[in-house]
A = this chain, B = another copy of it.
């Protein structure tokens, strides 16, 4: 019988008491890896609580990796279980120091994001990131903007500022959005530290642990990391990558509706333009359907607009925000892809009441965004540099995309397919069935070629034979060489597999 003692009068819920005491038993060594623990019904009887209470405690312990159930055998303490100790205090380490690892809250989801921002070895060709081409950064023009801003109001810029953003930048952004046909008033705009922070603020403002959000699967790993850290439940909706097969590319709108009907959903996060990682763009008819469904279910849609200004071919499609008649859309956007990610300035457009809530959350998160970056970017926009820079980069990226597509055509073995993005910074490759992109990466890394395996972008049902190639930050020569080498490694691996398959087939014959 487990030595658990519940305190019904405590303000701590009973299932939490059970969870914590079982953790402590594992930590103290009274329960060890492989030990069988009582069935929930059995323990509930022993403790005189409802079975659900025990089931809730077990669910928590299972999600922490402390216990595992085996069908027909029972539930067992896991080996190497990660224990998050809360009580009693863990014993000191030998040198009297703190066992920090035992004090961390659970970690989930941040790792994939981390793998996308690696230190790239000197001569490697990395398709792993989706970042702008820094060799085209207009540094001199930007420096002049910094100087002008500091000259004009250096004291104000360097002093504590407003949580909703530096007023001159907000003014510039309102003008920019107005010119793009999606007018926003100052009170509908919040400056943030980029889209990653916008997602963090939205998560804090709208979501509690256990709430559910709908996301494209695959999606941006930064979003997965945010929601995992906040213990928010992510519901994945597939992305059609083959328009000929599904009628359109982009998020599967029917699956989205089913997910909305079947779950209590608090938020939908979508990237309709040049989706990261697939590069797909949702057609206008499907955008309208998404908005109708969201309005019917009264669920906010967060539109990630970060790549939208980088359309490299085809016609513009109005954003969800531009099509929105019911006021369900919150749009997040950034200077990171169209100008300088090193500055960490983005923004959020939403109804006034949402912005006011986000402003308070922003304030409690980091007071406000760096004002030197805001002031310099405001000047950069006012002087017309942003418009000129974006126009130039669209040509550069368009040419890089064309080179990449040509190189893929030339070098990829039969059975490999890829998306045809109309913009953005990446495309999505599907290898022949049975291939694992993570394994392929081990071999290409030896040749100095890096990419991002598809599983980094999936929070459920990862497809092992997929990968993302970023084309924006590599020059045309390196793209051509990198794709050629990638194709070579891939074909070499295919030959090995064929030989292996023949040997296995031969071995089978011998045994029969």
Chain A contact residues, CB within 8 Å of chain B: 8-16, 49-53, 55-56, 59, 86-87, 89-92, 95-101, 103-107, 109-111, 113-114, 117, 129, 131-132, 134-135, 137, 139, 142-143, 146-147, 150-151, 154-163, 193-194, 196-197, 200, 204-211, 222, 225-226, 229, 264, 266, 295, 297-300, 325-328, 336, 339-345, 351, 353-354, 357, 360-361, 363-373, 376
Contact = CB atoms under 8 A, between A and B. Distances in A.
B155 A134 contact: yes
Nearest to A324: B97
Contact of A96 (B51, B135, B326): B326
Contact of A139 (B16, B155, B160, B208): B155
30 contacts: A8-B51, A12-B210, A14-B52, A16-B210, A50-B50, A86-B264, A89-B297, A95-B326, A99-B298, A104-B357, A106-B208, A117-B163, A129-B160, A132-B159, A135-B155, A156-B342, A158-B339, A158-B340, A160-B342, A161-B342, A193-B193, A194-B366, A196-B366, A196-B367, A200-B365, A204-B229, A209-B209, A343-B371, A344-B371, A345-B370
Q: State the number of copies, please.
A: 2
A370 B105 CA distance: 27
Given A110-B363, A139-B154, A342 B159 contact: yes
Given A204-B229, A367-B222, A376-B372, A340 B98 contact: no
B204 A56 contact: no
A113 B363 contact: yes
A97 B298 CA distance: 8
A325 to B, nearest CB: 7
Nearest to A131: B160
A266 B86 contact: yes
Contacts of A107: 357, 360
Most chain B beta-carbon contacts within 10 A, residue among A15, A90, A360: A360
Q: Kindly name the residue among A101, A137, A139, A298 whose own CB sees the greatest number of chain B CB atoms within 10 A.
A: A298
Contacts of A366: 193-194, 196-197, 200, 344, 366
Given A104-B206, A105-B207, A206-B104, A298 B98 contact: yes
Contacts of A264: 86-87, 89
Residue of A106, A159, A162, A366 contacting most chain B CB atoms (<10 Å)? A366
Given A146-B146, A160-B131, A361 B154 contact: no
B14 A53 contact: yes
Given A114-B360, A344-B370, 7 more contacts: A90-B298, A134-B156, A134-B159, A139-B155, A158-B343, A225-B364, A372-B372
